[in-house]
């Protein structure tokens, strides 16, 4: 009996030690993963149209449609769309900087908005649809300022680039039905993107860029 009890205790100790080792190893991986991910926040009109381009990029872990830059806590879509809360529809991007750089995210951002229109984007008018870059660090601020300057000086647009670059404030995820809307309502999304004028603007400027 003593031997059996001793073997049982030994086996229990071995299992516990193994489990503790695995847990510690997994925890280390999780910590490492959390440390290497960064956030980018961009507003560019309707967030339905801003999410898809970033979802396609290698190194982008997640995208979240939401509201930021305003004064009301926990705003609803109805409140934000009224233009009275100060928020802009925006997308928060979680990315791995070892795979995709912030500069590359900025390049995609510029390709999917009209950077010369501060009053909204395409068919959507009002401050809630304004284009704006919300930086999360001094490095992001400098990168955004430099990227904006390069675009402005490139002569690609006859009007000046007017996108504001401001420090990120609290970001509120939008209602669930707005998340990845282009996947949930593919036909409505495409009709909206074409009907608003965004797609034709993107196509026109992409062609001009490729012909340069």
* DSSP 3-state of 63: strand
Mark residue 38 as left, alpha or beta (left: phi above 0; alpha: psi -120 to 50; beta: remaining).
Answer: beta
Distance of CA 6 to the CA centre of its chain: 57
CA atoms within 13 A on the CB side of 195: 8
Distances (CA, A) of 27 to 15, 20, 22, 39, 95: 18, 10, 8, 21, 20
- Asked if 44 and 128 count as a contact pair (C-beta separation under 8 A), the reply is no
How far apart CA 139 and CA 123 sit, in angstroms, is 33
What does the radius of gyration of the chain's CA atoms come to, in whole angstroms? Answer: 23
Angle between helices 102-111 and 138-154 (to 10 degrees): 40
Q: Which candidate, 177, 170, 76, places its Cα nearest to that of 128?
A: 76
Q: Residues with catalytic annotation?
A: 46
């Amino acid at each position: 009996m003593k031997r059996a009890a001793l073997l049982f205790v030994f086996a229990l100790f071995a299992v516990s030690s193994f489990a503790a080792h695995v847990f510690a190893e997994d925890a280390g991986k999780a910590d490492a993963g959390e440390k290497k991910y960064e956030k980018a926040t961009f507003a560019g009109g309707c967030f339905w149209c801003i999410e898809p381009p970033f979802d396609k990029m290698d190194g982008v872990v997640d995208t979240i449609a939401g509201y930021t830059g305003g004064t009301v806590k926990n705003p609803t879509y109805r409140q934000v769309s009224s233009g009275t809360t100060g928020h802009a529809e925006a997308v928060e991007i979680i990315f791995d900087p070892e795979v995709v750089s912030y500069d590359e995210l900025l390049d995609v951002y510029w390709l999917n908005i009209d950077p010369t229109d501060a009053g909204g984007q395409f068919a959507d008018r009002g401050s809630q649809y304004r284009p704006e870059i919300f930086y999360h660090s001094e490095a992001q601020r400098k990168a955004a300022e430099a990227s904006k300057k390069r675009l402005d000086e490139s002569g690609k647009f006859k009007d000046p680039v007017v996108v504001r670059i401001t420090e990120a404030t609290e970001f509120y995820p939008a209602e669930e039905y707005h998340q990845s809307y282009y996947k949930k309502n593919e036909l409505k999304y495409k009709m909206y993107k074409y009907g608003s004028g965004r797609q034709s603007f993107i196509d026109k400027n992409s062609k001009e860029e490729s012909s340069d």
